[in-house]
Amino acid sequence: MSKPYFFRIVASVVLVFTLVNSCQNGSFLDVKPQGVINANNYFQTQQHAIWSVNAVYNSMRDWNLTSFPWLAMTDIVSDDATKGSFPADAQRLSAFDEFTWDPGYPEDIRNSWRGHFQGIFRANVAIDGIPKIPVMDEALRKRTIAEAKFLRAHFYFNLVRWFGELPMITKPLNQDEFYVQVRKPKAETYQLIVSDLTDALAGLPEKSAYAPEDLGRVTKGAARGLLAKVYLTQKDYPNAEKYALEVINSKQYDLLGDYSKIFLPEGENSSESVFEVQATALEASYAGASPWNMVQGVRGTPNLGWGFNLPSDDLLKAYEFGDPRRDATVLFVGEALPDGSGIVEDNPAIENERYNQKAWTPTHALLQDNGPSNIRMLRYADVLLIAAEAMNENNKAQLALTYLNAVRGRARGTRRNILPDVTLTDKDALRQKIWQERRVELAMEQQRWFDLLRNGQAEAKMKTLGKKFVNGRHELFPMPQTEIDLSGGNIKQNQGY
């Protein structure tokens, strides 16, 4: 056979085999995602439970949950702080000082909303997925679900206080559910928060029961403490008292001796810590950090940050004479840094220049962008003041005074002539006293606006300061315009917007 014929035969055979091959080659198109787990194969092992819950904690360090949106809607909007930095810098944030925000502006309102719902999404993934893991340690299963539920309750608690009625998202949504959600009465949100926290309480260990490597995970104490605050917010004083006392009686916590040490690195996860967001400055990357320090750090010299969220004149006036908490909370121009590494120099571009000392942190790897501070979300002192407030409302003024004075006593330290014990027992007067104590004890810790709203003081206080607070409008932030646009009107706007 000559070569051409040979090639024709070979070609014909190859051709036919190709045809046969093409008709049978069904699996050619099956490909696997590379280096990532296909979501359909997630929640198979015990590790997956831990990973999915860690991812919820991870969202707590997100920009939207720690920085402009968080600080603007807690401190800057309140009487404790002003926007900060120089006037032109992120000028939009002055909307929170001036009460000129609207549904589309500034974007920080939407970012806050979005950041919290992204956290809720991850919590929902964990809560939905962990029960499906075929075999795992049952105690761990219970604990990890409890952790996710606690964090979901925390997210919803912020949202319901800021925005009022909310769409209730309790599982990852399907495509046909994206646009049909409507806002549910606040009671439903609170019901979910309470039930999540009750489940969390049942499933979580006490602080001391965690292994050292799990330090920072949420605890029974955190669940009780948050329940107490949730009930206090709802004015359910017996339950607020009950859960605050449970924290106290658990003997897991104690006030730290020196108030000024609470916010230093050595004060992280102290005896006073009930719930704090864990962060650290790694050498190699920002993976363990949050922007919380950077946004509030000294702007100028020594250069530590952007200089936002500055303590207000009104806050300075709120302290009793000689209260050492004032100097522990406010970093003044000319003041030495807590570690003695430098002195804050005057930056002429910034008005009312003074910084939030609670967000100060010593020099660390990768500097300011790599914020290492744990964010103290719930301190024992806060729980004591909840106990005091609830007990006063429950007509147990004497007991209330014990807790109030414990907080004052710690602040007083060894100095006898300041912050005398409170002795008055008139319910209304004592209530004011406790509120005042909350303000100075928890100043610049992103609690103030929630307290003003809860106590119904926001309007009066803002008007005293000459702010354009509109009654029936500014008690709640508006629904982000995008939510209204995208839902085709299923999401209704808050009153007044």
Residues 18-57 that bind another protein (CB under 8 A): 18-20, 22, 25, 28-31, 33-40, 42, 48, 50-57
Query: Binding another protein by CB under 8 A: which of 63, 140, 172, 188?
Result: 172
Of residues 46 and 239, the one with the C-beta less far from another protein: 46
For the segment 257-276, give every residue that binds another protein (CB under 8 A): 269
Q: How big is the site for another protein, counted in residues (CB under 8 A)? A: 111
Binding characters for another protein, 125-154, by CB under 8 A (x = yes): xx----------------------------
Of residues 178 and 420, the one with the C-beta less far from another protein: 178
What's the rounded Cα separation, in Å, for the pair 334 and 343? Answer: 6
Helix, strand or coil, per DSSP, at residue 467: coil
CB atoms within 10 A of CB 4: 8
Query: Binding another protein by CB under 8 A: which of 96, 117, 275, 380?
Result: 117
Of residues 125 and 400, the one with the C-beta less far from another protein: 125
Full 3-state SS string of 340-404: CCCECCCCCCCCCCEEEHHHCCCCCCCHHHHECCCEEEEEHHHHHHHHHHHHHHCCCHHHHHHHH
| Residue 169 within binding range of another protein, rule CB under 8 A | yes
| Residue 343 within binding range of another protein, rule CB under 8 A | no
Is there a contact between 276 and 353 (Cβ–Cβ < 8 Å)?
Answer: no
Region for 251 from its dihedrals, namely left if φ exceeds 0, alpha if ψ lies in -120 to 50, beta otherwise: left
**Smallest distance from another protein to CB 301, Å:** 8
**Smallest distance from another protein to CB 240, Å:** 29
Of residues 94, 88, 48, 45, the one with CA closest to residue 68: 94
Is there a contact between 203 and 143 (Cβ–Cβ < 8 Å)?
Answer: yes
Identify the H or E element spanning 153. Answer: helix 138-163
For the segment 276-335, give every residue that binds another protein (CB under 8 A): 278-280, 282-285, 287-288, 299-300, 303
Tracing tokens 């919820």 back to the chain, one arrives at 56
Of residues 245 and 479, the one with the C-beta less far from another protein: 479
Query: Binding another protein by CB under 8 A: which of 68, 70, 96, 121?
Result: 121
For the segment 63-92, give every residue that binds another protein (CB under 8 A): 86-92
Binding characters for another protein, 346-375, by CB under 8 A (x = yes): --xx-x-------------xxx--------
For the segment 459-478, give every residue that binds another protein (CB under 8 A): 468
**Smallest distance from another protein to CB 387, Å:** 28
Q: CB under 8 Å to 485, separation ≥6 — which residues?
A: none
Of residues 86 and 435, the one with the C-beta less far from another protein: 86
Helix, strand or coil, per DSSP, at residue 308: strand
Say if residue 185 is preceded by a cis peptide, omega within 30 of 0: no
Binding characters for another protein, 376-415, by CB under 8 A (x = yes): ----------------------------------------
For the segment 190-229, give every residue that binds another protein (CB under 8 A): 212-217
**Smallest distance from another protein to CB 365, Å:** 8
Q: CB under 8 Å to 178, separation ≥6 — which residues?
A: none
Distance of alpha carbon 86 from its chain centroid, rounded? 26
